[in-house]
Amino acid sequence: MDKKNMHGRVFKKLREERGYKSKDVAGDVISTRTLTRFEADETSLSISTFEKLLENCGVLPIDYLAYYNNYIEVENAEFFKRMQSYLDSGYSTKIINECKKELKKKEIDYERRLDILLILMSLNNEDDSKLFDENKKIIKLNISDGFIKIGFYLLLLISWYIAARKISIPLLLPTPLATAKAFVGSLTNAKIMSNVGITLLRVIKGWLLALLVGIPIGIGMGLSKKFNYVFGGLMNSLRQIPMMAWVPLTIIWLGIGEGPTLFMIALNGLFQVILNTNQGVLGISKDYYNAAKTMGANRWSIFCNIVIPGALPDMLVGARLAIGSGWMSVI
């Protein structure tokens, strides 16, 4: 994490969604001031330090990466949707101004930067030659990095092949070609694919169970302070327990078979669903509720037309994180 990027602001959003204060997350890892600067994208942290901060938030690195990627996708989608609405309305000046503003940011990814340049070129607006030249240099550097990565992977394959030939023990280190053949062979093996299908079905069942239980609890916590008081502390306590500590308990409770597996998959995704759904409900502006009540809407109408649509994006984030966590819980 030596480059300036969006990790600080994404981490801040994640921390706030889970209800952690800066001083609690910083702990004895870094100072609260350094964490504040990091969350403002004013400084960077080492990977080991960042992993400790994630641990203090009760978030696995792989879950954070899924959250981060989803954040980038949503932000990109919202930006280009806004550009499309400007285009439909004939506001080309607004498109140009916003695109230039985005290009000045250092943290946007390569694909988004290239798309924005193409938008400006399609509008025949290349008057800011300095800005264009800087961004073209950044894109060229990204392309160069891509070639370097390809070269690294080729070198890795060659080294693997040489090492496999030197050892000459296929069981210990097969060649890349033998590995590829075995992989393709496993895809055409009916027994293996049948077992993969069984595993996928278990993951989907556990995931659906997490959604069925987690979404109502998350909505309840967001709408009712009393409900949040009862379940909030319980959720924070239970999610601190390592997943492996649940394994012997589930076997005792549910016996040997599919039951413990489904329970572990559902439990591992449950907290993601609850926390994100709760944050989605809490993030709905009070103005929407007030406007609906002014127009005579009842509670059911407010729930269906304001709460569910308003919280849906965060629900989907929770569902996406849950299925990733669930897949890792297959035992």
8 A C-beta contact, residue 267 and residue 214: no
pLDDT at residue 243, as a whole number: 77
Q: Averaged in consecutive runs of 10 residues, what is the pLDDT profile of the chain (331 residues)?
A: 64 83 85 87 83 84 80 76 76 73 66 71 62 66 74 90 88 88 87 88 92 93 86 79 81 83 88 88 85 86 89 88 81 58
Nearest CA to 39 out of 78, 66, 5, 79 is that of 5
Nearest CA to 82 out of 116, 53, 124, 40 is that of 116
pLDDT at residue 124, as a whole number: 64
Return the CATH number of 7-134, one of 1.10.274.10, 3.90.1150.10, 3.30.1360.200, 1.10.260.40: 1.10.260.40
Angstrom distance (rounded) from CA 181 to CA 89: 55
pLDDT at residue 135, as a whole number: 65
Instruction: Tell whether the torsion through CA atoms of 133, 136, 142 and 145 is positive or negative.
Output: negative
Instruction: Tell whether the torsion through CA atoms of 149, 116, 67 and 29 is positive or negative.
Output: positive
Nearest CA to 204 out of 322, 311, 318, 59 is that of 322
pLDDT at residue 183, as a whole number: 87
Domain boundaries, the chain: 7-134, 136-187, 190-328
Nearest CA to 207 out of 196, 195, 215, 197 is that of 215
pLDDT at residue 130, as a whole number: 62
8 A C-beta contact, residue 116 and residue 125: no
CATH topology of domain 190-328: MetI-like fold (1.10.3720)
8 A C-beta contact, residue 277 and residue 222: yes
Nearest CA to 206 out of 275, 273, 256 is that of 273
Q: For 214-243, how does the pLDDT look when each residue is reduced to its tens digit (9 = 90+)?
A: 999 999 998 888 888 888 778 877 877 877
pLDDT at residue 317, as a whole number: 85
pLDDT at residue 3, as a whole number: 43
